[in-house]
């Protein structure tokens, strides 16, 4: 059995265990496999092990990979999620080639994605990225601005606002790690109470998925636990 297949099984088991301890239905938690820096063959190996949803951070790398897989393995029906920082002049290929975008953090980007989403495709699924740990260096809207931006996004015709995404700072222990995820969940509840129809909390990576699931994650984004350590040879 390939290492990728083995790691995928182990991660799925970790998700099941975390759901059990949180007394949650595991079917409410989707695994997004983050394939940035790993090649098309790695994605294909994961797809052959039953994984359909993949996340990418770097646009050119992602487009090359999507095209390669499309050309060599048209039998694989994959779902692509863009999860990296977005430059406003690069929105068109994102609108054309992805099913989801988790890293929308301002209205201008959302407007462009809506305008550029091809008419023959379904609306683009969107998560609003929130700067939940208050880190100046990180992208994401401030929690105080989230409602206004979310309302603006939900009015755009070619987008479907699904929920919130965050990348909290790493914390020393499980209890501390859970705090920012709990804050994101509270913000999500607040937006729903204000009338927004949201169903997605995109939170949790290889190191903190257990804490995120305990606090209500509906999508965990997992890379290194499946493909191994990344090397940024750019
Ligand atoms: C790289 C990345 C991940 C996956 O991180 P791992 O620690 O490899 O699981 C998840 N989300 C985002 C936004 C990322 O950039």
Give pLDDT, residue 170.
86
Give pLDDT, residue 171.
86
Minimum CA distance residue for ligand 1 atom 6: 223
Give pLDDT, residue 62.
98
Give pLDDT, residue 25.
98
- C-alpha 210 to ligand 1 mean position (Å): 15
Give pLDDT, residue 81.
98
Give pLDDT, residue 172.
85
Q: Locate the ligand 1 atom nearest the alpha carbon of residue 167 and give its number.
A: 13
Instruction: State the CATH number of the domain containing residue 82.
Output: 3.20.20.10
Has residue 54 been placed in a domain? yes
Has residue 104 been placed in a domain? yes
Domains held by the chain: number: 1
Has residue 232 been placed in a domain? no
Domain, as residue range, for 42: 3-227
- Model confidence pTM above 0.75: yes
Give pLDDT, residue 90.
96
Has residue 233 been placed in a domain? no
Based on its alpha-carbon atoms, the radius of gyration of the chain, rounded to whole angstroms, reads 17
Has residue 101 been placed in a domain? yes
Q: Locate the ligand 1 atom nearest the alpha carbon of residue 102 and give its number.
A: 13
Has residue 58 been placed in a domain? yes
Has residue 165 been placed in a domain? yes
Give pLDDT, residue 68.
98
Minimum CA distance residue for ligand 1 atom 7: 206
Residues of the chain with pLDDT under 50: 234
Has residue 86 been placed in a domain? yes
Nearest to 217 by CA among 167, 169, 153: 167
Q: Give the model confidence (pLDDT) of 37-77 as tens digits.
A: 999 999 999 999 999 999 999 999 999 999 999 999 999 99
Give pLDDT, residue 136.
58
DSSP string across the chain = --HHHHHHHHHHHHHHHHHHHTT--GGG-EEEEE-TTS-HHHHHHHHHTT--EEEES-HHHHHHHHHHHHHH-TT---EEEE-S---GGGHHHHHHH-SEEEEE-SHHHHHHHHHHS-TTSPPEEEEEEB-TT--TTS-SB-GGGHHHHHHHHHT-TTEEEEEEE--PPP-SSHHHHHHHHHHHHHHHHHHHHTT----EEE---TTTHHHHHHTT-SEEEE-HHHH-------
């Amino acid at each position: 059995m390939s290492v990728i297949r083995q790691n995928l099984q182990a991660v799925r088991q970790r998700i099941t265990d975390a759901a059990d301890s949180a007394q949650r239905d595991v079917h409410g938690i989707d695994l997004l496999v983050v394939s940035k820096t790993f090649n098309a063959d790695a994605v294909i190996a994961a797809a052959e092990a039953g994984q359909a949803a993949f996340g990418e951070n770097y646009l050119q790398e992602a487009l090359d990979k999507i095209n390669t897989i499309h050309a060599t393995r048209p039998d694989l029906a994959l779902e692509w999620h863009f999860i990296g920082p977005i430059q406003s002049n690069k929105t068109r290929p994102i609108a054309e080639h992805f099913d989801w975008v988790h890293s929308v953090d301002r209205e201008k980007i959302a407007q462009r994605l809506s305008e550029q989403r091809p008419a023959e495709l379904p609306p683009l699924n969107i998560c609003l990225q929130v700067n939940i740990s208050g880190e100046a260096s990180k992208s994401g809207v401030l929690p105080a601005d989230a409602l206004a931006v979310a309302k603006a996004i939900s009015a755009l015709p070619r987008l479907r606002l699904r929920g919130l995404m965050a990348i909290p700072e790493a914390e020393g222990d499980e209890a501390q790690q859970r705090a920012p995820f709990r804050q994101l969940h509270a913000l999500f509840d607040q937006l729903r109470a204000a009338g927004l129809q949201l169903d997605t909390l995109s939170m949790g990576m290889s190191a903190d998925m257990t804490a995120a699931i305990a606090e209500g994650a509906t999508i965990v984004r997992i890379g290194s636990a499946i493909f191994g350590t990344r090397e940024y040879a750019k």
